Amino acid sequence: MADGGFLAVGFTSAFLPTASDQDNIKALARTGGLPSDSGKAQLRIIVSAAPAELERYDAEIRKLHSEEHQQNPLHISRLTRERKALASYAAYCRSILSPIRKLPNELIVDIFELCFPASLYELSHTASMEEEMGRISHAYLLKLAHVCSHWYCIAMETPKLWSTITVDVESELWDRSNNRVNTALGALEFSLMRGKDYPLKLNACVTSGIIPLSICGLLLRHIRRWKKVYFLSNRPPPWPASASLDQLVSLDFDVVGWDHVGTFLKAPRLTELTFSGNIEEVPMLPWAQLKNITYDSRETTTANAAYSVLFVLRLATNVHECTLYLDFREDPCQEAWDPDSDMQHVTSPVKVLYIELSTEDSDVAGIFQSVTLPSLDSLHLYPADDATPPVWSAGDFVALAERSGFDTHLTYLRIEVIVTDVDLLRCLRALDQLEVLDVTEYIPPGDAVAQATTITDKFLQALIVAPGASSALPKLRSIYLCSVLDFSDASFVDMLASRRRRAQGEADGGSGEKFKVKLEWFTTRRRDVSFETLDEIVQLKCEPAIHHSVVVEAGV
Assigned domain for 176 exists:
yes
The residues near 210 (Cβ < 8 Å, ≥ 6 apart) are none
Q: What is the pLDDT of residue 303?
A: 54
- Establish if 183 belongs to a structural domain: yes
For residue 135, being part of any structural domain is answered with: yes
Strand pairing class (551-555; 546-547): antiparallel
Res 301: pLDDT? 54
- Based on the fold, state whether residues 175 and 195 are members of the same structural domain: yes
**Is pTM, for the whole model, over 0.85?**
no
Rg over alpha carbons for the chain, rounded to the nearest Å, is 35
- In 334-435, beta strands by DSSP E: 346-347, 352-359, 371-372, 378-383, 412-416
Give the total residue count for the chain: 556
530 in a domain, yes or no?
A: no
What secondary structure letter does DSSP report for 474?
T
Q: For position 348, what pLDDT does the model report?
A: 94
76 and 19 belong to one structural domain = yes
Of 102, 119, 152, the position where a domain reaches its end is 102
Of 169, 156, 165, residue with least CA distance to 121: 165
- Asked whether the beta carbons of 308 and 276 are under 8 A apart, the reply is no
Evaluate whether residue 391 is within a structural domain. no
Tell me: do 117 and 233 sit in the same domain. Answer: yes
Instruction: Identify whether residues 122 and 85 lie together within a single domain.
Output: no
Whether 134 and 209 share a structural domain: yes
Residues 91 and 107 in one domain: no
Are 17 and 150 found together in one domain?
no
Q: 55 exposed, middle or buried (CB, 10 Å; 0-12, 13-18, 19+)?
A: exposed
**Are 52 and 139 members of one domain?**
no
Does residue 252 lie in a domain region?
A: yes
Say whether both 7 and 97 belong to one domain: yes
Instruction: Specify the number of domains making up the chain.
Output: 2
In a domain, residue 323? The reply is no
- Do 90 and 133 belong to one domain? no
pLDDT of 375 reads 97
96 and 209 assigned to the same domain: no
Helices (H) and strands (E) in the chain, counts: 20, 17
Q: Which of 218, 237, 270 lies at the terminal end of a domain, its last residue?
A: 270
Q: Which one, of 371, 372, 385, 375, lies nearest residue 337 by Cα?
A: 371
Burial of 122 (0-12, 13-18, 19+ CB in 10 A): exposed
Looking at the structure, do residues 70 and 131 belong to the same domain, yes or no? no
Partners of residue 230 on adjacent β-strands: 203, 252
Cβ of 188: how many Cβ atoms within 10 Å?
A: 20
10-residue block means of pLDDT along the chain (556 residues)?
45 87 82 74 87 89 73 80 90 80 84 82 69 84 84 91 85 63 85 94 77 80 93 80 88 78 89 81 86 84 67 91 83 48 77 87 67 96 86 90 96 93 94 95 66 85 82 88 88 86 57 76 76 68 39 47
Which of 235, 254, 270 lies at the terminal end of a domain, its last residue? 270
Residue 34 lies in a domain: yes
List the domain range (segments joined by +) for residue 69. Answer: 2-102
